[in-house]
Structure 1
Amino acid sequence: MTRETLFVFTVGTCLMHGLVSPALIYVVFFHPVWLPEMLPPTAEIVFYGASLIVSTATLLLSAVPAAIVERLGAGLDVAMRVWLSGAAIITALALVARGG
């Protein structure tokens, strides 16, 4: 698998986590803090924004082990696989917590 394909799968996994995460309800609850006033606080906009915030946080959090592995001397391909694995583990935990 190429690096680009691994990255696309990693981003897709993080987007999935943004939809099923238990943390999503907390981000939705705090929408007055992060939602710009120029946008109407409709349910669709709040959910979409909260999902993007959780997805981005997942992408960043799952990159930490990959950065450590790469810094320890592993190649970029191995680091990309670790990144995808980290995102998949976080998403799997969210699915188990959700009951699905």
Structure 2
Amino acid sequence: MLPYYRHITKYSEGLFVLEDWHSFGYYYSKTLMAWYENFNKNWPKLRPKYGDEFYRMWRFYLLMGCGMFRARKLNVWQIVFSKDGLKGGYEAIR
């Protein structure tokens, strides 16, 4: 499930301190394209086991996801919460 960002903040309010929120959905599209390329490259070996219907569905899933992340209609985040706040704050390393 990809939750809506407002739900994350709404349901964590009063329970946790939000230390960091890193958005990297656009870059995830590159991961999906790499998976797609590897899938296509290896499809001849996989075809006997999985069949053409699986190929069409998985191809659609990977390319649709890639397009949605590139168009910024989907996103992936890394969120750092702490229970009571980190002494000295949180230093994000990117």
Q: Output the TM-score relative to the length of structure 1.
A: 0.31
Q: Which has the larger radius of gyration?
A: 2
Larger helix proportion of the pair: 1
Q: Looking at both structures, which has the greater relative contact order when contacts are Cα pairs under 8 Å and sequence separation is at least 6? A: 2
Larger strand proportion of the pair: 2
